[in-house]
Amino acid sequence: MNAAIITAYEAPITIGRVDTPALTGDSVLIAVHAASINPIDDILRLGKMKDVMPLTFPHVMGYDVSGVVVAVGADVTQCALGDAVFARPSQNDAGAIAEFARVKGSELAMKPATLSHAQAASVPLAGLTAWQALITRGKLKAGDKVLIHAGSGGVGSFAIQIAKHIGAHIATTCSGHNIDLVKRLGADVVIDHTTDAFDQQLSDYDLVFDMLGGETMARSFTVLKPGGTMISIKGQDTENLAKKFGVHFEWFLMEPDGAMLGELGALIDTGAVQPVIGKTFTMEQSAAAYEELANGHSVGKIVVTISDSAANPETSRP
């Protein structure tokens, strides 16, 4: 099959032929209609996490997939042949930007009926990360005050909408040209990080969702009220600032979860949460898609569509 691959750490992304993933008892094979890309893909490509998440080569890029089930493992109960599904496959099954992807039954959910495959592919990794940060770990509830950094990005755009649905009061940071977008998504207070200091304006927050780390994360501790919580997906509290400010700090790595993705999909079908897609590329343009992501200021998610051959398994060439 055709796929967007790298053949070594730091190698450029090219389109090449690789074996179609072998079906296992607990997995399904999906004819991929669309994938979306995430910063972690490039972090892994550059070998920055090779000690904890080593790659094998050729490595197929991408962790977010939407498509149609074309083969079902003997132990899979969550879906059937021909179902439209979306998923964030686990590390071992990475490889979304390809004609076919393998996903465990426990990691997929039915594609939201109201979304196209391109929209659905934008949801799993970023949407699950936002859900796990705010709900599973942050325990956000109605009336809480939450600061969500980078509200115009992939994770942030989902996080604002999920927090709005919960009934929280939301402050967010973004560049000036994205202020209207994040307000439309549900932000109550918007701070342009290019001109204003959020920590001069915000105080007494229950929760901070940090995805920037570094000095932004360090300054965010001052925004929390005593006993508040900071959830970061980027930085570690190496200076023990949580103790200094009397707050709780947690860093976490998101986990694939088909049941949770199904809940998020149901919420999406109510219209309460909608994907924000900044740009769409074809599989052949994958390298350009990752260049766009690497500039650090993409709006919402970047989607990669897969050609019609994968959409029609009868004419595709595994």
Q: Which of 162, 211, 276, 310 binds ligand NAP (CB under 6 A)?
A: 211
Query: Minimal CA–CA distance to 34: which of 299, 289, 318?
Result: 289
* Cβ neighbours of residue 203 closer than 8 Å, sequence gap 6 or more: 222, 223, 225
Site for ligand NAP in 55-84 (CB under 6 A): none
Q: Quick one: which segment of 38-46, 53-61, 79-87, 308-316 binds ligand NAP (CB under 6 A)?
A: 38-46
Q: Quick one: which segment of 24-32, 55-63, 105-113, 169-177 binds ligand NAP (CB under 6 A)?
A: 169-177
Q: Provide the sign of the torsion angle of the four alpha carbons 75, 78, 80, 82, taken in this order.
A: negative
- The nearest distance, CB 174 to ligand NAP, in angstroms, is 4
Q: Which of 78, 129, 229, 274 binds ligand NAP (CB under 6 A)?
A: 129
Q: Which of 153, 256, 258, 275 binds ligand NAP (CB under 6 A)?
A: 153
**How far is the C-alpha of 229 from the C-alpha of 137, rounded, in Å?**
9
| Residues in binding contact with ligand NAP, number by CB under 6 A | 29
Site for ligand NAP in 284-313 (CB under 6 A): 293, 296-299
Q: Quick one: which segment of 25-33, 55-63, 147-155, 269-277 binds ligand NAP (CB under 6 A)?
A: 147-155
What is the residue whose two structure tokens read 């465990």?
104
276 binds ligand NAP (CB under 6 A): no
216 binds ligand NAP (CB under 6 A): yes
Residue nearest ligand NAP (C-beta atom) = 153
**How far is the C-alpha of 33 from the C-alpha of 29, rounded, in Å?**
12
Query: Minimal CA–CA distance to 251: which of 299, 194, 314, 208?
Result: 208
212 binds ligand NAP (CB under 6 A): yes
Site for ligand NAP in 3-32 (CB under 6 A): none
234 binds ligand NAP (CB under 6 A): yes
Closest to ligand NAP by CB, 43 vs 80, is 43
Q: What is the DSSP string of 234-255?
A: S---TT-HHHHHT-EEEE----
Query: Rounded to 5 degrees, what angle do the CA atoms 102, 278, 164 make?
Result: 90
233, 235, 238, 244 alpha-carbon torsion, rounded to 10°: -70
Three-class SS of residue 144? coil
Task: Give the binding site for ligand NAP (CB under 6 A).
Answer: 38-40, 126, 129, 149-150, 152-156, 173-175, 178, 193, 211-212, 216, 233-234, 253-254, 293, 296-299
